[in-house]
Each structure stands twice: as C-alpha cells, then as structure tokens.
Amino acid sequence: MHTNGTNSELFENLRLELRRGCLAVAVLLQLRSELYGYAIRKALSEQGLAIDENTLYPLLRRLESQGLLVSQWREEDKRNKRFYRLSPVGEEVLASLLAEWRQMNSALERILAVPASLNMQEQTQ
Amino acid sequence: MTQADLIDRYLNAVKLWLPKKQQKDILAELAEDLHSQIEERESVLGHPLEEAELVDLLKRRGSPMRVASGYIPEVRLINPAMLPLYWMVLRIVLLWVLAPIFALVFIGPLFDSQAPGKVLAAFFATAFQSLFFVIGIVTAVFALLDRYHSKWVDRWDPRKLPHAPRSHQQMQWYNDFSGFAFGMAATVFWAMMMWHRSAFVLSSGFRIILTPIWGQIYWLVVALTLERALVDLYCFVRPSWTPARSWVRLAFDALKVVIALLLLRVTSWVDIGGTDLSPADVAKTVGWLNGMIQVTLICAAAIMLFDGLRQGRLLWRAKNGRSRPVLTVS
C-alpha cells in the first residue's frame, strides 16, 4: 500500500512529465513575438503557467540549439538582454506540435466523456 | 557584504560547473535575470534589498551546482535498451563465476590455515579489487557497444527470436544455471589445484598422495568440465530446447561415464603419508578414503547415466511430437 508521501512523489513525477512537453510548446507559442528571458517568464506566469528560471533558460538554449529559436543580445533600459524569437523552422514545428496537442486533447476529452462503468461493459463484451 | 559581492560570488560558483565554451554567454544571461528579479523585488518592497533578502532570493534560485546542471547535456553510459542485458551479464559474472571461484580459492585455506584472519583479510582485499575490476570491465564493454554499435538493439527479426519455452523447460533454467556454476568451479579446481599435483599437503605435514591415474586423465577432465559449463551457460542464455542440444549433452554424459569407468578400473586412487598412525590404522584410513572415492565415482557415473536417459527421453518425445508449448496466445 502506498503512503501519502509516496503518492505525492508519484504525482509530482507524473506532473513533471506532463509539464515537460507542455512547457516547450508554451515557450514556443510565447516567442511568436520577440522577448527576453525574464519577460518570457513573467508573461507565462501572468497567463497561469509559472516556470522556474532553472527550467526556462536551459530550455531556451536547447530550443535554440535545435534551430527552433533565434536570439540576439541587445541593449534595453541600459542593460544588455538576450532576446529570443521563433525561427522559420520553429514556426513549422510549432504548427505540427499544436496539431498533435489538439488531437491528444480531444482524444482525452472523448475518453473522459465516456463513463468508467460503460468502458468496463465494452471491454467485457 | 555588498549586493554586487554576493551576486559575483554566486555567479562565479555557477561558472565553475558550466561547459567552458558557453560560460560567458550563460553567466551574462543569468546575471541579467538576477538583476531583473532584484529590481522587481525592490520595487515591490520599496527599498533596496538587504543582505538577508538577497541571500533568500539566491537560495530560492537553487545551489550553483543545480543551476549549472540544467545547462549540461545529459550523458549516458549505457543504452537503456541494453540495461536488462547488462544486469543479466553482471549477475552471471558476479554470482555464478566470481563467487564460486572465490569460494573455491579461499574456503580451503580458511579452514586449513593457522591464521584464518590473514586469509579473510586477503579474501576481502582481493574480492574488492576483483569486484571493481569485473564491474568496470563489463560496464566499459557495454559503454563501447552503446557508442559504436548502438543500432544492433534495433536490428532484430521476430523469426530469429528463441523458441518459446516448452513445459519441461520451465524448471530447466535452474539446472542450466547451477550446471554452469558447478562446471566453472570444477574447471577452476582441476586447472589450479590438480595441475602437476602428486599430493595434497596439510599444514600439520599430513599428505594425501594421488596415484598416477589422476595425471593421466587431467586434460580430459579439464576440457570436459569447461565445455560442459559453457554448454550450460549457452542453454541458460538461450533456453529453447533443440535436438542438437540434447545430443551434445548425451555425448558429454557418455564421455564422463567412460572417465568414471576408467577410474574405476584401478583400485587405489589415494594414499596417505606424513602421519604417525600405526601401519594398520594407515591401511584402514586409506581403505576408507578409497572406498569413499569409489562410491563417489559410482554415484557420478549413475548421475551421468540418469542425465543421459533424460536427454534420450527428451529426444524421443520431440521425435514423437509429445512436447507441448506453454505460451499460447489465445
């Protein structure tokens, strides 16, 4: 039998797995317009998707090395900031990712709409 | 300590763990993010951050090593797909090769030695060295496989997979496993302990003298025990039965029976010396020892005959279509 501690640890691991892919999509979506790191974090947070800085910056670097983002250093408010935006490849990949996400989401919604008892009956038939 | 001092210390500690080529770029971005965070916090509080507040902010950000770890690409030593094979090889090597060899090499001297503490110390020292060496070698081999031949895991064909085990093979794996372990132990014993040996001398000077027959069959026994151990290992790794397998076992069993019969042709296998027993007691002890060896040889021959019969039965059943698959997809 699982203790509460184990359950919360299990939940946390699954939550992280679930978030990992979603965060990449959210960052790509946010960078349809040019932003620097701290501003991306604030923008995502304001829309209800808080992201840790230790997750965001390595993610930005990875997406850039994969060719999905482009970046440049520019001075703003007397400070040098690195601005990111979606690359043409990133735009294509984002469109495919969104289509995939919509398909998964609607599949999950359909599964959720079927009562569990009905599911059992179908399986036994 | 000033705000700048604390930030410099923090960034310098992060720098230590970052990949060299990206250090400057990553640190500039981290510094900018920290300053943005500090600015925002100060505007909320309405005053410049005090030392304790900045320490708290940095602590919430995470330890320098943790922050840097996010930028380091994940490196794996072994392909996850090969992990089951890696564990299996490691288990076989450690439990069924290394452990029996150590038992064989150290148990005798442990009971025989005047200073068992020294034998134990030598055992632990050698065991640790061997353990690390064996684990290191196995891991290195798998790491090299992953680096240069990672695709072989995906090169497979369902038609080339081993046959599904049949009913009589369900218990067979244990026999194969133990056969391999005992075969290796017997090989090591023969190769090391019987090489050019004419007698076993105990610390008290007591000698068990071997008659020449043991020297005459030395190489035959080494070859047979080693070959049988390797066949058992092969059977364990690929558990599906084939007629060729039973024929090979049958041949080995026959050879072993021949060796036992060769040994049984002589009446004296050992003698004793270096003892102050009376000649009558020596004769009685030698008679008892030879009697034990005779019984052991007869038993060994009987076991080999029994195994030979079992293999013969398997071949007969296969020929007459009596074996039945256990795994059936309905």
- Tens of pLDDT along B171-217? 567 777 788 888 888 888 887 777 777 777 776 777 888 888 888 88
Which backbone phi and psi does A82 adopt, to 5 degrees?
-100, 115
How distant is the Cα of B24 from the closest Cα of chain A, in angstroms? 13
Question: B301, B243 in Cβ contact below 8 A?
Answer: no
Which residues from chain A sit within 8 angstroms of residue B67, using beta carbons?
54
pLDDT band with cut points at 50, 70 and 90 for residue B28: very high
Which residues from chain A sit within 8 angstroms of residue B36, using beta carbons?
38
What are the pLDDT digits (tens) for B115-150?
Answer: 778 878 888 888 888 889 989 999 999 888 888 776
- Greater confidence, A35 or B285? A35
Helices (H), chain B: 3-15, 23-45, 51-61, 64-69, 83-91, 99-112, 116-149, 172-188, 213-216, 218-237, 243-265, 279-319
Establish if A19 touches chain B: CB-CB under 8 angstroms: no
* Rounded average pLDDT over B273-282: 81
pLDDT band with cut points at 50, 70 and 90 for residue B326: very low
Token code pair at residue B298: 């007869």
What are the pLDDT digits (tens) for B32-61?
Answer: 999 999 999 999 999 988 999 999 999 999
What are the pLDDT digits (tens) for A44-101?
Answer: 999 999 999 999 999 999 999 999 999 999 988 888 999 999 999 999 999 999 999 9
Within a 13 Å sphere around the CA of B273, how many CA atoms are in the beta-carbon half? 10
The sheet that has A69-76: what strands, in order across it?
Answer: A35-36, A79-86, A69-76
- What angle in degrees, to the nearest 10, is found between the helix axes of B99-112 and B172-188? 50
State the Cα–Cα distance between residues B231 and B225, nearest whole angstrom.
10
ipTM score assigned to the predicted complex: 0.80
Residue type for position B176: D
Which residues from chain B sit within 8 angstroms of residue A45, using beta carbons?
none
Confidence at residue B240, expressed as pLDDT on a 0 to 100 scale: 67
Within a 13 Å sphere around the CA of B205, how many CA atoms are in the beta-carbon half? 4
How distant is the Cα of A119 from the closest Cα of chain B, in angstroms? 22
Pick from A58, A81, A82: CB nearest B71: A58
**Residue B113: pLDDT above 80?**
no
Express as a percent the part of chain B with pLDDT over 90: 18
How distant is the Cα of B258 from the closest Cα of chain A, in angstroms? 59
A104-118, B17-31, B263-277: segment of lowest average pLDDT: B263-277
8 Å CB contact of A79 and B35? yes
Between β-strands B270-273 and A35-36, what pairing exists: parallel, antiparallel or unpaired?
A: unpaired
8 Å CB contact of B29 and A79? no
* Rounded average pLDDT over A93-110: 95
Confidence at residue B329, expressed as pLDDT on a 0 to 100 scale: 40
- Greater confidence, A71 or A123? A71
**Residue B327: pLDDT above 60?**
no
A102-116, B33-47, B278-292: segment of lowest average pLDDT: B278-292
8 Å CB contact of B36 and A38? yes
Confidence at residue B328, expressed as pLDDT on a 0 to 100 scale: 41
Which residues from chain A sit within 8 angstroms of residue B35, using beta carbons?
79
* Rounded average pLDDT over A8-30: 91
Establish if A76 touches chain B: CB-CB under 8 angstroms: no
Cα dist from B234 to A10, B87, B237, B288, whole Å: 40, 17, 5, 39
Confidence at residue B322, expressed as pLDDT on a 0 to 100 scale: 61
pTM tops 0.80: no
The structural domains of chain A, ordered by start, are 4-115 (1.10.10.10)
Q: Which residue of B has its CA nearest to A37?
A: B33
Establish if A74 touches chain B: CB-CB under 8 angstroms: no
8 Å CB contact of A38 and B67? no
Confidence at residue B287, expressed as pLDDT on a 0 to 100 scale: 85
Cα dist from A47 to A30, A53, A106, B5, whole Å: 10, 16, 22, 35
* Rounded average pLDDT over B275-296: 83
Establish if B182 touches chain A: CB-CB under 8 angstroms: no
State the Cα–Cα distance between residues B298 and B306, nearest whole angstrom.
12
Helices (H), chain A: 4-30, 37-46, 53-65, 88-113, 116-124
- Greater confidence, B310 or A81? A81
State the Cα–Cα distance between residues B97 and B53, nearest whole angstrom.
60
